[in-house]
């Protein structure tokens, strides 16, 4: 299934209670991730020292996502994916701080590494679930980086009027991503959702 065409398909399908539960749980966790990453972004932009609490929530959120996958897949590859997901988020913070502090050259290297980690996550997810198309996963994860970089650059430039639109795009992307990830699990393990 093509990720770009996927957004409309979810709405048209009838779902079992178990399928809906998985989809809603995945949506909730990815929405929470956006909430906590935005709080971390604000803390870093304002140079506040209270961000460790937010980091703890993001670690917990990553583990909750991993727990969904551990119901279906071996623990070792899921733990590897969880570490990559946390690194993916951490690189976003690193990019923000470097851009905030005017270290453009180092920030561009961090952005490059962010895309590399996105590709690593895509490969690992595809390896455990052949229903996740590798190119779709790359699009999903790169798009998140693109949207985040765009938002960071707007925030640093003081363009608050366009922030709401960019965050709206990010939330829609995250919901579509959650649905895609849940659908991959449902397709691979249909017996678990009857």
Q: How far apart are CA 192 and CA 98, in angstroms?
A: 45
The whole model's pTM is what?
0.89
**According to DSSP H, which parts of the chain are helical?**
3-12, 17-45, 51-70, 75-100, 104-128, 134-157, 160-188
Summarised one tens digit per residue, pLDDT across range 55-101 is 899 999 999 999 999 999 999 999 999 999 999 999 999 999 999 99
Band (105; pLDDT cuts 50, 70, 90): very high
Structural domain boundaries in the chain: 18-189
Summarised one tens digit per residue, pLDDT across range 16-45 is 999 999 999 999 999 999 999 988 888 888
């Amino acid at each position: 299934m093509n990720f770009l065409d996927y957004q409309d398909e979810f709405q048209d399908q009838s779902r079992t209670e178990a399928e809906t539960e998985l989809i809603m749980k995945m949506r909730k966790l990815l929405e929470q991730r956006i909430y906590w990453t935005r709080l971390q972004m604000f803390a870093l932009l304002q140079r506040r020292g209270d961000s460790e609490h937010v980091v703890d929530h993001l670690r917990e959120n990553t583990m909750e996502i991993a727990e969904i996958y551990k119901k279906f897949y071996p623990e070792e590859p899921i733990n590897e994916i969880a570490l990559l997901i946390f690194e993916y988020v951490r690189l976003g913070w690193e990019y923000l701080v470097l851009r905030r502090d005017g270290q453009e050259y180092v920030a561009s290297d961090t952005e490059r590494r962010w895309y590399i980690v996105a590709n690593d996550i895509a490969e690992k997810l595809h390896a455990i679930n052949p229903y996740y198309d590798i190119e779709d996963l790359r699009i999903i994860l790169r798009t998140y980086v693109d949207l985040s970089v765009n938002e960071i650059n707007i925030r640093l430039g003081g363009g608050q009027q366009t922030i709401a639109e960019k965050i709206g795009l990010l939330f829609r992307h995250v919901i579509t991503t959650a649905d895609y990830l849940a659908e991959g699990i449902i397709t691979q393990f249909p017996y678990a959702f009857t």
